[in-house]
Structure formats: C-alpha cells, structure tokens
Amino acid sequence: MKFRAVICENNYMRELLNIIITFSKIDKNLIINIKPDKMVFLICSEIESSQALWCEIRANSYFTEYEMTGVDPDESNEIYITLNTANLVRAIAYIKSNPCAQLKLKLLRTDIACLLVEMGVPLETSSSNHAVSHEIPIAIIPRNEWDQFKLPTDIEYDISMALPTWKSLKCLVDKIKNLSPCVTVYARKDGELAFVVETDIVIVTSHYKNLECLSIRSVPSDAGLDEQITEAAVQIDSKRLSTIFDSVNFFDMKVIGKITEEQRFNILFDIRPGVFLNSILPSIALD
C-alpha cells in the first residue's frame, strides 16, 4: 500500500487548502478515499445522518505526479484513511504566505501511519528548494468498514437545474435561516426556481426565472400526461443549507441543483474541470 501525489500549480495548492478548510468548518474528522484515478474527501458523520458531503479531485487534471497502490491491487485497489481536519489545514496553510514550488502528499509508515505534507520553498541564493514538511497522524480504515463510507452517486433525480451564482444564493439562504427552520425548494422544467419560507405570520417566496434546466427524469413512453415530470419540490433544513453555503468559497464556480421529489436536494459546486464538491441534504417532513 502506497500513495504519492505532487501539485506544482500554485492556484491548485490554494484551491486544495480551500477544500480542506470547507470540510474543517463542518466536521473535525476527514475521510480521504484514494483511488487510482482520483482522491475523494468526505465526512463520515454526514453520511450517517443521511446527508452527504464530498469532494472529488481527478488525478490527471490536478496532480503533476500521482502514484498509488491500494490495500489489494487486484480486488480493492483503493485506500481509506481518516485524520484530524484541523491538522491538515495547519499543515497546508503555510502556502498562504509563502511561495511554494510544489506541494507533495505521501503516505508514511514509521512508528505510526502518517500523511506527509511537504512543501518545496524556493531559496533566493540557490536553484534548489527548501523542504517544509509536516507528518500528520492518520488511521488506516480496514476494508471491512469501507461500506459505511460508500457515497450515494447512483441516485436518480427528477429535475437538475443550473442555479444562480453562489454569492446571490448565499445572501438569500443567510436570510432564510433567520426566518424559519425549514425552506421548500421548487424547480420547474421551464427554468423557474423558488425558495419558499412559511411562518405563522407570513409566507416569503424568492423566485429565479430563465435558469437552464439541465435534465428531467425520463418516464415510460406510454405514461400519461399526469405522470410527466414538470416540477419537483423538497423541504429541507434551512440551517444545514446555510452551513453549506457559508463553508464553500471558490472563485468563479458553477452551481447545479438537483431535486428528488420530497426526498433530497443535491447541490453540486463545479469548481473546475475534474474538481467538484457535492452536498446532499435530505428532506424533512412536509406539513
């Protein structure tokens, strides 16, 4: 079992730091799933509560070097590790105020299992780099526990829609959470999106129109008109929704929303090609 990855693009290093900071705002522990073609960051407690938050980074679009050998290269060529999120943030945060030529991640097996975070810092008086490194204690998750970390990637959604900008949605959900503990999200195939908050005193609705409807769940060809999908709605926890938008902060990302009627709301933050962050919020009981 081994893993080694190198990032040489400074923007990608900072982006990786932002990804880890996003997770640190939500949970103190982080699961990292290392696969031959990608790294997946996820939070265990989210999955256990029927939520899900994970980030996928495609190896060939992000890393200059990427090598891994899983627990069992023939049958289970992947690795699951868990670590303290704050420790990883502190290690990588060095790049915020220091120029780095590269960032290396590597699994180490010394007295205890560690994730090496090493930054190559250019020297003014030499063409070589000075290495600044941190060894973060980790736990290797045994294969018989992997099933509890399987992500809900095979869900079929009723409607998928390109959402307004992150900034405008963040302002909206910040206000919503102070009005009501829940919010109902409606999406229509004609490109209309609505957030509805009901209180004992007032009903507040925020509309967005002319958005792009990306896909609608297919129905049998012989289905009647009343079975055709034209809209979908789900009621979710407004504070959980706000937490997601407060935690995420990436420049110029696309946001996509997907709804399964009365079941879940999926928000996909498309950070760049090969890098996305996914959040699934379960429904709460409709009145």
- Give per-residue pLDDT as tens, 39-73: 999 987 655 556 789 999 999 989 999 999 998 88
- pLDDT, one tens digit per residue, over 222-278 is 666 566 789 999 999 999 999 999 999 887 899 999 999 999 999 999 999 999 999
pLDDT at 260: 95
Pick from 230, 231, 245, 229: which is nearest to 281 by CA?
245
Least confident span in 23-27, 62-66, 101-105, 282-286 = 282-286
More confident residue, 129 or 205: 205
Q: Which fold has domain 2-149?
A: Proliferating Cell Nuclear Antigen (3.70.10)
Q: What is the pTM of this model?
A: 0.90
Q: Distance (Å, rounded) from C-alpha 151 to C-alpha 86? A: 23
Domain ranges of the chain: 2-149, 159-282
CB distance 238 to 180 below 8 Å: yes
Comparison of pLDDT for 106 and 50, the residue scoring more? 106
Query: Contact at 8 Å (CB) between 275 and 55?
Result: yes
- Can 2-149 and 159-282 be said to share one CATH topology? yes
Residue 104, pLDDT > 90, answer yes
Summarize the confidence of residues 211-228 as an average pLDDT. 77
* Model pLDDT, residue 227: 67
DSSP string, 112-166: SEEEEEEEEEEPTT-SSEEEEEEEEE-EEPPGGGGGGG-----PPPSEEEE---H
pLDDT band at 215 (very low <50, low <70, confident <90, very high): very high
CATH architecture group of domain 159-282: Box (3.70)
Q: Which residues have a Cβ under 8 Å from the Cβ of 167 and sit 6 or more positions away?
A: none
Residues 6+ apart with CB under 8 A from 159: 187, 188, 189, 213, 215, 216, 217, 229, 231, 232, 258, 259
